[in-house]
Structure 1
Amino acid sequence: MFDNIRGCIHLPPTSQFVLCRGDALLKSCEDITAQYLLTSPLPPPLQFLPWFSKASSRNPDSQRWSWHTESSSNGANLSLTSSGKQVNQSWQDVQCIACFCQDDSTAYRDGLLTLCTHANKVFIHQPLRMYLYGLYIYKCQLEAWIFDRSGIWVCQAFNIQDNPQRFLAMILSYRSMSDADLGLSSVVKRDDNGSFVTFNDTVTPGLQKLYLEDKTIALSDDLVGQGTTCYRARSSGRDQWDYVIKVKWRPADRRPEEEILNLAMQKKAWGIVTANLRQGLHFGPYYELAPLHNETDTPPRVANSGEEPNISKLVTPTKTPFQNRIFTCVVTSPIGRPLQFFATRLELLLALRDAVRAHRSLFQDAKVLHQDISVWNILISHPQRPGDPHGILIDLDVAINVAEGGLRKLGGAIGTRPFMAIGVLLRRIHTYRHDLESFLYVLLWVVVVRQKDYPPVGSRLREWNQGSLADSARLKTSDMAEDSFGNVLAEFEPEFESLKGLAERLRGLLFPRESGELWTGTVGSGAGINRLYDAFIDTF
């Protein structure tokens, strides 16, 4: 969690406290809390929880949401739900979160990371949520936070003992907020048949209303980032799941995936999934939360200062430019099965072969370079007609239009790390040959790792994913050498013995010897490109 959020923090833009949305509601709640506080004043931190439980439950019948309190070792975790269910039983019901630390036996930073961890659980169980409110109460200091895919934003802190009316008004105002004000998505709606998304598509009427399967088929576990989530979907009136709906928060400065998909369709690229809804948000500049070297470290600006810790004392500005993200929903078809779940070796080989053919068509026909070949971006398809592909490529998030001079300059490393080519790890310009090298790593991964999340301990593939990118490049260069590749093949289970020859031939095509050295370069001539593609596909 620390690594995910550390450099994605937004400090208050002004010295004035801002609730962001619902300011009018906050003001109206302030007007009704003064009388309550006359008879039940806010107590010191050690007596806070009983007071909070009583104060936050006033007029339950007139409020949409209710606060639930779950004690922790040094305070409590609080959650706003529609049903009052235990937070650890139903994160799907949580609409707002809070973390209370009653004294400094819990470090400020640790309490904040607990709040962020709970926010992440909410987003995992509600992946289409736009944003989430969070309150961090450290002794008497309150910080109001907003979490979204661009980062985490803190509003100005204040002392709840000095301003109990504002604090109680905040607590009550959240209970009356609308779905939209609490950050729930209006993109997905429900009726008697389930959850659905609507599109203004006059060209394809069948795509105007698509129902989502309850369970996701792909889900990001990061709080800050693209938050990519995929659902199977069907048209209204059909039982067959014919589509995949992919939602994500893409960087605003990145070319939309749907544009690359449309280009591929216009150029009649073969073996690529085929079509858009988009809405957007953005927030302010980034700060970084510095790591502590050990559990007893105290940040220098807090030590001996006599001041209560808060986020502004623990962060430093970064040079990383703010990355606005745009909520995007893309519908694709045909639907497929993850490559790792192949039924037979033949099905695996046909899927990989046709994925290579799809890559070739994408590159040579549409002039688009995929740049992220991985086990998760190849699906096993179900051909309906002769000539249909057995395997398809998906996810054109980082694909580039080569015809527009889209080759990235030196210095970038694009792709999914376990499958990155040696040249990409060394930050060379990404080429078609690097993607073909990634196909070899996909074959090795599927055979060695199968349906697990990670290679076994001691596996060469596991070591490729550790250390720096340069370390990975060095290890892969060593393992791809003719006299070392056998160590990788030794990890094949007996049932895949017959695939060792295929892996060895693909390795030989990609890494010929030149002047006694392993060659990892790219042939750029048209004839050379065709020769490598032909040989690669024929080998399968």
Structure 2
Amino acid sequence: MPLNNDIVEYLEEKPLTSIFEDFRIIYNASFHDLGDKVFGNPRGQVVSGRPLITLICQLSHHVHRGNFEYSECANLYTRMSSICSWMETTPFDMAPFEPIARLILDHAPDLEVWQSLMQLIDTLQSSIKESDNQSNKLVANSIFRRVGANHRAEKTMEELKKSMRHELSGSVFMNVKGFWKKYFVTPKWSKHCVLLSKEYEARSGEANLKFPQDPVESDVWKWMKAVEDEILNASNDTSSITAIEKKRLSESRYTHAIEATQCHTLAKGQMEGGQTDRQLDYFIKRSDLPNSDRHHWRDVLVVGELTKLPTSAFLDKFLQLCVYMSEVFLAQPLRHFVHGLILFGTQLQLWVFDRSGPYCESIIDVGKSQKKLVHVLAAYMLMSDKEHGIDPNIRYEGDKMIINMKIPGSVEMREFVLDSTPLVFQSAVVSRGTTVYSSVEKSYVVKFSRKICGGTSEVDLLQIAKDVVGMAKLEGWRDLVPISTLRKGLKFTHKMVKNTRPAEQVLTTLVVLSGKSIQVLKSTSKAGSRKRKSESQKDGNAVEPVSKQTRSGIKEIPRSVPVVEISSQSNRMAPSSETTSSADGNLGISPKIQRRSSRLEELRTSQSIGVKRRCQQSVDVNERPKRIHHSSHSVKVATDVVENPVTFPEKNLSHSSISSQSGGLLSLSTSDFIPPGFKIETVKCVEIRKRQQAAVAISPFGKSISEFETPLEVIIGLYDAIKAHRSLLLDANILHRDISVNNVLLKQCEDPKDYGGILIDLDLTILFKEGKPQGKLEAMMGTIQFMALEILQNSFVQPGTVVSHSYRHDLESFFYVLLWICIRFRWPDDKSPHSAFLRKWYSGTAEEIYSNKKIHMKKGIFGDKVMERISPDFENVKYLVWKFWKTLFYKDEKFTTGTAADPDTLYGPIIKAFEKTILCLKS
């Protein structure tokens, strides 16, 4: 088309010479060929496109400087900017760029190049639109399209790895017994895998089926695809065999068909729905999905990491696999577990990740024979949805997910139809996996989470509280799979625990090795032990005890079960060249004096006293904040520090030959089979805390407290929640114990006269019967940034001074919610200038958080440093904030955090202050 006169004049005034010269320099530096080989490069070679990306971006800036106002090019800069962003994040074909590139390389006039640029923009925009349509079609065909994408702020891979090291601390198990049998031998299709691996062995000499001698990632990937095409998929083709052979094949292979396929990505941007763009080495998805170079995390069945590096690079590659697993659980929040693998050259490591943590099989050497590796690949592609951790009780129709649940007052099951996008989900892998969906008609919500088995369930509590005004009402429930079923047949011991916490974050206990004895230098005083932990943590070294749980990192190691194990006494003492493994790799340590992680010390003593935790993630209203809970269960483990004890087969031991003795050791009535230098001792198996996936439907449907439209709406919502909390305590004898921004919903309404709030989530509540709590009131429960001072203090005070959780602490949490809302929201662009101030309420150790909060609540500081941070839109709420603060923290002008015997001593003034503020806002 003819060029506009303004364009002609602008190009004459500001020619494109420098831009074109830059392109020629970059092009010639990148390529040595000016012919078809460059522009014939396939999609995915983004590196090859760097000269073109630079060219289009520079031309875009040139247009922006022109400040054109004519109609034809009014949106030219916007169009070019979007194309630049697309080129930088998406693999693209080089061919459309050939005309403009050749013109520049041939020194064509600026106007001629500009005309070619206009044609290129039209062509690229058409391609982008077509690509988006294909992407939408891919989502429409995905069985997991119901899951919404993650909206967390982007983080680098290293930041995510660091976060994983803390999140998984204490929950990673290696060399788990029973792993291979459970996942690869017991299933019916395992015989089919054996046949396929034998078939591979017979054909392994063929050129394309030879395992590469130099196992670089690309060659190993080609070998894996060749195995799939030549061996695995070939087993599905029975068109060329006789009826008798088909019958024999059916009987021997159970007619199992390969219904999945191996995939990998060539560049970042090909995996959709993740926290950031990832280039994934290896994954498996369904073979019936559209064949495309674009994939989605919601379709991933298995995740793998391929590397030529040796197993000494384990930690880095394991953490990378953890990040990928996090992406899977974010895109598939109802997934029970996910299979994974890491291939270090010829060393294969098989993993399973569930909500209690990752665990793996012992290393498998596939260098000499790849039969087991072929067996594994076949198994992954033969597994059913259930064997891949996908819940069979939930079915999917279009964009809806459907589950049948029990309903109150009936034995019949009711069908609950839910919207595909979760309202709430947890970002952590090791967590309760709390995920909330709304009904299609927006009349109720269904919460999926891993409840603690035993005690009073949330369903029971909701039924008890059915008459409490302002509380959510029970609509339905269903118990799904328990963790004991998912891990049935597996054996976990404390020696299998892998320390992932960074070295600088680990407390240490001095161990002196002398002769053939091992002496652990530790105090027998509980107070002394607590004191040392506190002092170390003041230096920034916070260690979570095994018994402590967090919402986003539940440590599943509360109990121990004894197991007989035989260890070599002669091997107890390491030679002078011995090295001790740490979380960061292999470190050479003197044989005379070693330092052992306090994580092991905690596991090996019965004094598992709760200590401080360090919160690792920023918490916002749309991200489930971490909760902490100190378990009262103690842990006892044998004090042996031998890395690799010799274990005899269990069949060699008889109950009649073994009798228990004090000190955890066992004596034998006959020792014929015990070699000299060995002894029998008691080791401890880990009993995983009993949890069960459950679904609970409640009504009415509400919106997040962060979605309020006016200060009046959010104040009325909190007012209703506090009244519901009072009624829950006084009328239903239930103490909530987890007040946070996530557990107060606002009613959906258009008329301000219908504003209201709903108190939800009775997971951590405690029931009182005849005035006695049905649980531990001293347990550290709640969401840390809204946690009361005395509850925070429980984690680091001396034994015997722990404070019981009371209604007063929940009211204090309500106060922090109110204050947080007033400081966090109603700022320009929704960006509070006081984020760093709020971060002090959840970052650091519990003692640091306690100190920060306590200082903020003191007279003078609160008025001058806290009240002034409240958003101007909440000016009329300042009286409520001040009255709430004074009622909680000051009595007779003295600072206090104590609990009044009469609840209405606190409830009364606070409720009246809310009512006064509501009248003011309405006027």
The TM-score with structure 1 as length reference comes to: 0.87
Q: Which moved more, 1:105-114 or 1:92-101?
A: 105-114
Counterpart of 2:460 in structure 1 is 259
Distance 1:90 1:146, change over 3 A: same
CA RMSD across the alignment: 3.3
Query: Is residue 2:510 matched to residue 1:510?
Result: no
Distance 1:106 1:53, change over 3 A: farther
Q: Which digits, 9 at most, give the CA deviation of each residue in 1:275-320, with x for residues without a partner?
A: 21112132354624243448xx993695689xxxxxxxxx969636
Q: Does the aligned pair in 2 maintain the 1:19–1:155 contact within 8 Å?
A: no
Query: Is residue 2:717 matched to residue 1:351?
Result: yes
Q: Determine which of 849, 852, 856 is the counterpart of 1:475.
A: 852
Distance (whole Å) between structure 1 residues aligned to residue 228 and residue 261 of structure 2: 8
Distance (whole Å) between structure 1 residues aligned to residue 765 and residue 899 of structure 2: 19
- Residues 492-531 of structure 1: pairs in structure 2 closer than 5 A: 492-514=870-892, 517-525=894-902, 529-531=903-905
- Partner of 1:9, secondary structure, is coil
Distance (whole Å) between structure 1 residues aligned to residue 309 and residue 426 of structure 2: 34
Distance (whole Å) between structure 2 residues aligned to residue 509 and residue 16 of structure 1: 57
Counterpart of 2:515 in structure 1 is none
- Partner of 2:839, secondary structure, is helix
Q: Does the aligned pair in 1 maintain the 2:165–2:502 contact within 8 Å?
A: no
| Structure index of larger Rg | 2
Q: Which moved more, 1:421-430 or 1:386-395?
A: 386-395
Counterpart of 2:841 in structure 1 is 464
Q: Determine which of 263, 270, 282 is the counterpart of 2:469.
A: 270
- Residues 237-256 of structure 1: pairs in structure 2 closer than 5 A: 240-253=441-454, 255-256=456-457
Q: Which digits, 9 at most, give the CA deviation of each residue in 1:214-255, with x for residues without a partner?
A: 111000001111000000014xxxxx2111000011233564
Counterpart of 1:53 in structure 2 is 225
Distance (whole Å) between structure 2 residues aligned to residue 25 and residue 139 of structure 1: 28
Distance (whole Å) between structure 1 residues aligned to residue 360 and residue 830 of structure 2: 35
Q: Determine which of 782, 787, 799 is the counterpart of 1:420.
A: 787
Distance (whole Å) between structure 2 residues aligned to residue 254 and residue 152 of structure 1: 27
Query: Is residue 2:281 matched to residue 1:77?
Result: yes
Counterpart of 1:312 in structure 2 is none
**Matched letter for residue 264 of structure 2:** T
Q: CA deviation at 1:164?
A: 0.7
Distance 1:143 1:252, change over 3 A: farther
- Partner of 1:329, secondary structure, is strand
Distance 1:410 1:342, change over 3 A: closer
Query: Is residue 2:416 matched to residue 1:42?
Result: no
Counterpart of 1:163 in structure 2 is 369
Q: Does the aligned pair in 2 maintain the 1:463–1:472 contact within 8 Å?
A: yes
Counterpart of 2:195 in structure 1 is 31
Distance 1:403 1:460, change over 3 A: farther
Q: CA deviation at 1:21?
A: 5.5
Q: CA deviation at 1:76?
A: 6.4
Q: Which moved more, 1:452-461 or 1:242-251?
A: 452-461
Q: Does the aligned pair in 2 maintain the 1:339–1:379 contact within 8 Å?
A: yes
Q: Does the aligned pair in 2 maintain the 1:17–1:157 contact within 8 Å?
A: no
Query: Is residue 2:814 matched to residue 1:447?
Result: no
Query: Is residue 2:463 matched to residue 1:96?
Result: no
Query: Is residue 2:262 matched to residue 1:67?
Result: yes
Q: CA deviation at 1:26?
A: 3.1
Q: Which moved more, 1:217-226 or 1:243-252?
A: 243-252
Distance 1:16 1:153, change over 3 A: closer
Q: CA deviation at 1:211?
A: 1.0
Q: Determine which of 166, 173, 196 is the counterpart of 1:3.
A: 166
Q: Determine which of 7, 10, 14 is the counterpart of 2:177.
A: 14
Distance (whole Å) between structure 1 residues aligned to residue 391 and residue 472 of structure 2: 26
- Tell me how many residue pairs correspond in the alignment: 517
- Residues 103-114 of structure 1: pairs in structure 2 closer than 5 A: 103-104=309-310, 107-114=313-320
Q: Does the aligned pair in 2 maintain the 1:359–1:393 contact within 8 Å?
A: yes
Structure 2: unaligned runs, 5 residues or longer: 1-163, 237-257, 269-278, 505-578, 590-598, 604-634, 636-686, 795-802, 915-923
Q: CA deviation at 1:407?
A: 7.1
Q: Does the aligned pair in 1 maintain the 2:175–2:362 contact within 8 Å?
A: yes
Q: Which digits, 9 at most, give the CA deviation of each residue in 1:39-62, with x for residues without a partner?
A: 223223124232122223345484
**Matched letter for residue 248 of structure 1:** S
Q: Determine which of 769, 775, 779 is the counterpart of 1:403.
A: 769
Query: Is residue 2:702 matched to residue 1:336?
Result: yes
Distance (whole Å) between structure 1 residues aligned to residue 815 and residue 416 of structure 2: 36
Q: Does the aligned pair in 2 maintain the 1:19–1:144 contact within 8 Å?
A: no
Q: Which digits, 9 at most, give the CA deviation of each residue in 1:499-518, with x for residues without a partner?
A: 1111001101111145x641
**Matched letter for residue 328 of structure 2:** V
Q: Does the aligned pair in 1 maintain the 2:174–2:498 contact within 8 Å?
A: no
- Partner of 2:883, secondary structure, is helix
- Partner of 2:416, secondary structure, is strand
Counterpart of 1:237 in structure 2 is none
Q: Does the aligned pair in 2 maintain the 1:22–1:177 contact within 8 Å?
A: no
Distance (whole Å) between structure 2 residues aligned to residue 362 and residue 499 of structure 1: 26
**Matched letter for residue 298 of structure 2:** Q
Distance 1:503 1:290, change over 3 A: same
Q: Does the aligned pair in 2 maintain the 1:288–1:317 contact within 8 Å?
A: no
Counterpart of 1:375 in structure 2 is 741
Counterpart of 1:154 in structure 2 is 360
Q: Which moved more, 1:467-476 or 1:406-415?
A: 406-415
- Partner of 2:769, secondary structure, is helix
Q: CA deviation at 1:126?
A: 0.8
Distance (whole Å) between structure 2 residues aligned to residue 154 and residue 366 of structure 1: 46
Q: Which digits, 9 at most, give the CA deviation of each residue in 1:98-129, with x for residues without a partner?
A: 11121249821010111111111111111111
Distance 1:430 1:99, change over 3 A: same
- Residues 269-348 of structure 1: pairs in structure 2 closer than 5 A: 269-275=468-474, 276-279=477-480, 280-282=482-484, 283=487, 284-285=491-492, 287-293=497-503, 299=581, 302=586, 319=603, 322-348=688-714
Q: Which digits, 9 at most, give the CA deviation of each residue in 1:176-227, with x for residues without a partner?
A: 2211111111121123673211124484699711111111100000111100
Q: Which moved more, 1:28-37 or 1:378-387?
A: 378-387
Q: Does the aligned pair in 1 maintain the 2:184–2:379 contact within 8 Å?
A: no
Distance (whole Å) between structure 1 residues aligned to residue 387 and residue 723 of structure 2: 47
Q: Does the aligned pair in 2 maintain the 1:77–1:100 contact within 8 Å?
A: yes
- Partner of 2:386, secondary structure, is coil
Distance 1:102 1:457, change over 3 A: farther
Distance (whole Å) between structure 2 residues aligned to residue 9 and residue 465 of structure 1: 25
Distance 1:347 1:14, change over 3 A: closer
Q: Does the aligned pair in 2 maintain the 1:37–1:165 contact within 8 Å?
A: no
- Partner of 2:420, secondary structure, is strand
Percent identity among equivalent residues? Answer: 26
Q: CA deviation at 1:35?
A: 2.4
Q: Does the aligned pair in 2 maintain the 1:150–1:325 contact within 8 Å?
A: no
- Partner of 2:388, secondary structure, is coil
Counterpart of 1:190 in structure 2 is 396
Query: Is residue 2:921 matched to residue 1:537?
Result: no
Distance 1:494 1:171, change over 3 A: same
Distance (whole Å) between structure 2 residues aligned to residue 385 and residue 84 of structure 1: 46
Distance (whole Å) between structure 2 residues aligned to residue 9 and residue 153 of structure 1: 6
Q: CA deviation at 1:324?
A: 2.8
Counterpart of 1:145 in structure 2 is 351
Q: Does the aligned pair in 2 maintain the 1:425–1:470 contact within 8 Å?
A: yes
Q: Does the aligned pair in 1 maintain the 2:340–2:350 contact within 8 Å?
A: yes
Distance (whole Å) between structure 2 residues aligned to residue 228 and residue 389 of structure 1: 27
Distance (whole Å) between structure 1 residues aligned to residue 831 and residue 410 of structure 2: 40
Distance (whole Å) between structure 2 residues aligned to residue 133 and residue 445 of structure 1: 40
